[in-house]
Structures are given as C-alpha cells and as structure tokens.
C-alpha cells in the first residue's frame, strides 16, 4: 500500500557556487539533470548560508539553528553542539516513520561517529580504505590540499571517485530498502570542493570553453579593505594564482559539477524506474559557495556573493500540486531545510529553530518567509534583506554594503551616506539577540585589531590550503577509520 508520506531525497554538494548551474544562466557549465529538476520544481535565487564554511553550515542544516545561535560560527572540529539527539534532522524524520539513510559527508559540530539520528550511514572513510586496497596506496588526495585550486587529472578509476561511490551506495540503499516504509535518503557529496581532481572526460571537458573571468573590482585592492577580507585574501593567496591557473581551476571545477550532475542522472533514473519519482520530495543544495578568483580570492569564509549564495532547488512530490519551473526571490537559508522536510514528512518540528518551512512558497501560497537574515562567520557579520546586504567587521569596525539586485557580484559598494538605514536595522537586530558584538551604549564593537603584513599572513599558507598533516580532512578520516 502506498504511504501517504512522500519519500524524501536530500542531495547536498560542497562548495558549489549558486551561479554554476545551467538553469541559473551560466554560459559554460552543463547540468542537464539539475536543470530538469529546476524545471519541475522551484529554484531559489536568494538562498544563502548563515556561516560560509563547512562544519557550521552543515550543523545549521541538521538542526535548523544558525551557527551563531548555537555558539560556534566558525570552523572548529573540537566544538560539540549542546543539543539532544532527538532534535536532529535524522531523528525527527525517523520518528515520523521513515527508513532513513545517509551516504557520504557529515562534518557537523558533533562527535565523528554521531549519525544525526539516521538509522544507517555509509561513511566516506570506508572509500579511503577501498581505494587503498584496490590501488595499493593512499591516492585519495592526488598530492593536493583540501583547499587549494591547483588541479590534476585523477588516476583513480571512476567507481572509486567520491561522487560516483556515493551514488553507488545510494542505489544500493534504494535496491534493498523496506518497501513498507517511506524513505529519507541523504546523498551528501564532497564535490566540487577541492582537491580539484577528476577523471576524464570531465577533467578536460571545459578546457576550450569561453569561461567568464573572475570579477576583481577596484575596491577590493584598496589598502583600507576590511581587515577580515584582507587577511583571508593573503592567507589563502600567499602565492597568487595566474590568470591561466585560475582558468584551469574554473574548468576542472565545472567538470566536477558536471560529473556530479551526470551521476545524479543515475539516481534520478532509478527512482523513475522504481516508480518512486513522482512521490518523492527532492532537494538539491550546497553548504556554501566558492570564490574561484572573484575579488582576488579563493575558497569561502566571506559574505561576498560567490561565497555566501548557494544553489537551492526543491521539487515537491507530484500530488502536492505545486507550480513547476518556478523561480523564487525569497530570502531563504540553510536553517529552512529542516522545517521544510519535517513539514512534508509529518514530523514534529522543534520550536526553538531559526528556519521556516518553504512549503507555502513551493505551493505558490506565499512569496517570503522572512524580511531579513543575519549571518556570522567569526568576527564578520552579514545583515541581509531581499535587495540589500550590509557587512560589518568587528576586527576594525569596517563596513560594506551592496545592492544585491542591481549589483549581484559585489562590484560597487554603496556609499556611506546610503547605508545608515541598514546599519540601524542591524543594530536593532543585535539588540534583539542581546548579541555580544553590540556595546552597552548601542554602538557596534570595534576590536581595533592591528593589520598584519602580507608576509605574516603568508606563513599560514600551507595550513589553510589543507597540506598540514593535522588538517581536519586527514584527522577526520583517521578518527573514523584508522589508516596505517
């Protein structure tokens, strides 16, 4: 008997820019299956992460709570969120009667073995061991760091590529699942996060494409650029990439996205063959973006658009009678995913979360769930409305603001005379939260941090690129599955 509850397929990628989809108008990258998903559902054009770095963003996703509210808007693998197991996404949907399974990357502010309430998990660490057994050595990183934009053509066979492996394991779950229960499957991919390593034909797929050049406006090269942006740029770019290197990084990054899309075609096709496609809620998103040379910078960890905006496509089950091929300009965020899934699953939604269900937008009954959102990464804040963005930096008291509609790539900061209303709204928001970055007199905190030299920042280069033996990627794998 068919369950009244829809199946749920959550697909998350890592470090996928919002603009790098065919359906978002990108001139090069090919994503036919994600485009088709968008044409059947809704693509959200103003989806953002509240903390643009892996661990806090992913913890927001499984709790519905913004990272600065649970106490760690930073990449900190030692931090443990204080929250009961029953309040995590997997637990809530499992309690609603679903068979729940997660394949791939977790990377939350929890212990490495914590399953997030999912009944079963296929850990990525086991792929590391499989690669070693089949290739005779540890070839998972191809000599590249977890955050550098150097590229290499992977020598691994396709079935040992992380994306392909995750789809294989997802198909195994679909083949053996309990047909008396609805399923919740989370396929959690690491691509297109560096290392930028992929097999052919994807490695060379965009080598001759007319790839757009990065946007590097004059303001980001000034000496008075906010300290946090200055520090990030010169820590991550101690050896600045040449235009040719950036172009090569873009091409391979796009190739990794297209491989991911093609593999999703296998997953979607199996759901169609099984007769489950029409009764499945499908969500595609990423945890944050990738700057990919924009503003002279790489990676993430800033609230510039290429880092903070994320792709978000939601295709409701067919009997939901939702409009197809829709785009939404609503301001939405990662915290909205948990209540949206709980809404469709008939699961209890915690009352202390920051997110809101997007079902009303998907069904065409509403156009927004909030007027503004607040994001924080470290000492750097974003206060955002549907058409404006205000950035405040507590290190040095600097501020920037942009018109996100007229200036979607942060090329022209708004003049100081035009940002007073945004600043006041941000101050009122911090006051409502009793936030520590608002002084007792109502002024914004300015730490007066000295500006280090580029040479001092360059000393951190190897560590931030992920080449240090203590980087989280290596340590996480060693914790989950010891490798000798």
Residue-wise pLDDT for 419-457, tens only, equals 999 999 999 999 999 999 999 999 999 999 999 888 888
Residue 391 pLDDT greater than 50, yes or no: yes
What is the per-residue pLDDT across 186-199, written as a single tens digit (0 to 9) for each?
A: 999 999 999 999 99
Q: Tell me, yes or no, whether 72 lies in a domain.
A: yes
What does the pLDDT read at residue 129?
59
Here the tokens at position 392 are: 């405040």
Residues 325 and 412 in one domain: no
Residues 329 and 429 in one domain: no
Question: Between 466 and 139, whose confidence is greater?
Answer: 466
Mean pLDDT, the chain, integer: 91
Highest mean pLDDT among 121-130, 146-155, 261-270 belongs to 261-270
What does the pLDDT read at residue 131?
64
Residues 440 and 298 in one domain: no
119: helix, coil or strand? coil
**DSSP string of 378-390, one letter each residue:** TTEEEEEESSEEE
What is the per-residue pLDDT across 266-314, written as a single tens digit (0 to 9) for each?
A: 999 999 999 999 999 999 999 999 999 999 999 999 999 999 999 999 9
Task: Please state, in angstroms and rounded to a whole number, the distance separating the CA atoms of residues 279 and 5.
Answer: 8
Q: How many CA atoms lie within 13 A of 173 on its CB side?
A: 25
Summarize the confidence of residues 324-351 as an average pLDDT.
97
Residues 447 and 458 in one domain: no
Q: Tell me, yes or no, whether 2 lies in a domain.
A: no
* 341 within 8 A of 32, measured Cβ to Cβ: no
Strands (E), 42-168: 42-48, 99-104, 120-123, 151-153
Q: Give the number of domains in the chain.
A: 2
Residues 50 and 168 in one domain: yes
What does the pLDDT read at residue 2?
41
Q: Tell me, yes or no, whether 398 lies in a domain.
A: yes
What does the pLDDT read at residue 234?
85
Residue 145 pLDDT greater than 80, yes or no: no
- For residue 430, give its domain range: 379-451
Question: Per-residue confidence at 480, pLDDT binned at 50, 70, 90?
Answer: very low
* 460 within 8 A of 235, measured Cβ to Cβ: yes
Write down the residue that tokens 């931090």 correspond to.
79
Task: Please state, in angstroms and rounded to a whole number, the distance separating the CA atoms of residues 355 and 64.
Answer: 5
Residues 335 and 389 in one domain: no
What does the pLDDT read at residue 141?
52
Task: Please state, in angstroms and rounded to a whole number, the distance separating the CA atoms of residues 63 and 270.
Answer: 30
What does the pLDDT read at residue 116?
95
The reported pTM is: 0.94
* 139 within 8 A of 155, measured Cβ to Cβ: yes
Question: Per-residue confidence at 130, pLDDT binned at 50, 70, 90?
Answer: low
Angle at 151 between CA 146 and CA 157, to 5 degrees: 90
Question: Between 302 and 134, whose confidence is greater?
Answer: 302
DSSP assignment, residue 309?
B
Residue 472 pLDDT greater than 60, yes or no: no
Q: Tell me, yes or no, whether 284 lies in a domain.
A: yes
Residues 395 and 304 in one domain: no
What does the pLDDT read at residue 442?
95
Exposure string over 22-42, b if 16+ CB within 10 A, otherwise e: bbbebebbbbebbbbbbebbb
Question: Per-residue confidence at 469, pLDDT binned at 50, 70, 90?
Answer: very low
Write down the residue that tokens 């499992």 correspond to.
94
Residue 64 pLDDT greater than 80, yes or no: yes
Q: Tell me, yes or no, whether 288 lies in a domain.
A: yes
Question: Per-residue confidence at 132, pLDDT binned at 50, 70, 90?
Answer: low
**DSSP string of 18-61, one letter each residue:** TT-SGGGT-SS---HHHHHHHHHSEEEEEEE-SS-SHHHHHHHH
CATH for 418: 3.30.1120
Residues 359 and 393 in one domain: no
Task: Please state, in angstroms and rounded to a whole number, the distance separating the CA atoms of residues 218 and 215.
Answer: 10
Residues 393 and 320 in one domain: no
Residue 71 pLDDT greater than 90, yes or no: yes
Residues 397 and 351 in one domain: no
Q: Measured between alpha carbons, how far is residue 335 from residues 14, 228, 308 in Å?
A: 16, 25, 14
Residues 328 and 383 in one domain: no
Here the tokens at position 91 are: 């637990």
CATH for 460: 3.40.720.10
Task: Please state, in angstroms and rounded to a whole number, the distance separating the CA atoms of residues 354 and 168.
Answer: 34
């Amino acid at each position: 008997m068919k369950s009244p509850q829809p199946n749920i397929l959550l697909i998350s990628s890592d470090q996928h820019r919002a603009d790098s989809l065919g359906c978002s108008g990108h001139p090069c990258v090919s994503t036919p299956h994600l485009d088709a998903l968008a044409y059947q559902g809704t693509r959200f054009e103003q989806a953002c992460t509240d903390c643009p770095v892996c661990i806090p963003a992913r913890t927001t996703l499984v709790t519905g709570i913004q990272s600065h509210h649970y106490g760690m808007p930073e990449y900190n693998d030692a931090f443990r969120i204080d929250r009961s197991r029953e309040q995590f996404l997997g637990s809530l949907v499992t309690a609603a009667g679903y068979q729940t399974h997660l394949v791939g990357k977790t990377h939350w502010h929890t212990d490495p073995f914590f399953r997030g309430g999912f009944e079963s998990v296929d850990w990525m660490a086991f792929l590391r061991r499989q690669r070693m057994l089949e290739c005779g050595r540890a070839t998972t990183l191809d000599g590249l760091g977890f955050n550098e934009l150097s590229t290499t053509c992977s020598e691994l066979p396709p079935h040992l590529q992380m994306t392909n492996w995750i789809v294989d394991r997802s198909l195994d779950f679909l083949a053996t699942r309990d047909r008396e229960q609805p399923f919740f499957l989370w396929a959690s991919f690491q691509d297109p996060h560096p290392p930028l390593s992929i097999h052919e034909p994807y490695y060379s797929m965009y080598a001759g494409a007319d790839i757009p050049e990065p946007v590097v406006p004059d303001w980001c090269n000034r000496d008075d650029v906010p300290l946090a942006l200055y520090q990030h740029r010169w820590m991550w770019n101690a050896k600045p990439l040449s235009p040719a290197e950036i172009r090569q990084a873009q091409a391979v990054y796009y190739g990794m996205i297209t491989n991911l899309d093609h593999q999703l075609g296998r997953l979607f096709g199996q759901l169609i063959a099984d007769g489950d496609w029409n009764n499945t809620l499908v969500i595609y998103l990423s945890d944050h973006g990738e700057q990919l040379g924009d503003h002279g910078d790489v990676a993430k960890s800033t609230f510039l658009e290429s880092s903070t905006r994320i792709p978000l496509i939601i295709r409701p089950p067919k009997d939901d009678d939702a409009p197809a091929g829709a785009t939404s300009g609503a301001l939405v965020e990662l915290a909205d995913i948990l209540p949206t899934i709980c809404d469709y699953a008939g699961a209890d939604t915690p009352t202390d979360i920051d997110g809101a269900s997007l079902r009303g937008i998907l069904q065409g009954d509403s156009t927004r769930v909030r007027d503004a959102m607040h994001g924080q990464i470290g000492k750097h804040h974003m206060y955002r409305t549907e058409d404006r963005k205000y950035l405040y930096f507590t290190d040095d008291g600097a501020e920037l603001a942009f018109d996100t509609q007229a200036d979607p790539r942060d090329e022209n900061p708004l003049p100081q005379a035009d940002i007073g209303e945004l600043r006041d709204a941000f101050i009122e928001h911090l006051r409502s939260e009793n936030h520590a970055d608002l002084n007792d007199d109502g002024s914004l905190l300015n730490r007066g941090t000295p500006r280090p030299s580029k040479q001092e920042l360059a000393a951190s280069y190897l560590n931030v690129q992920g080449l240090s033996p203590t980087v989280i990627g290596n340590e996480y794998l060693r914790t989950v599955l010891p490798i000798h």
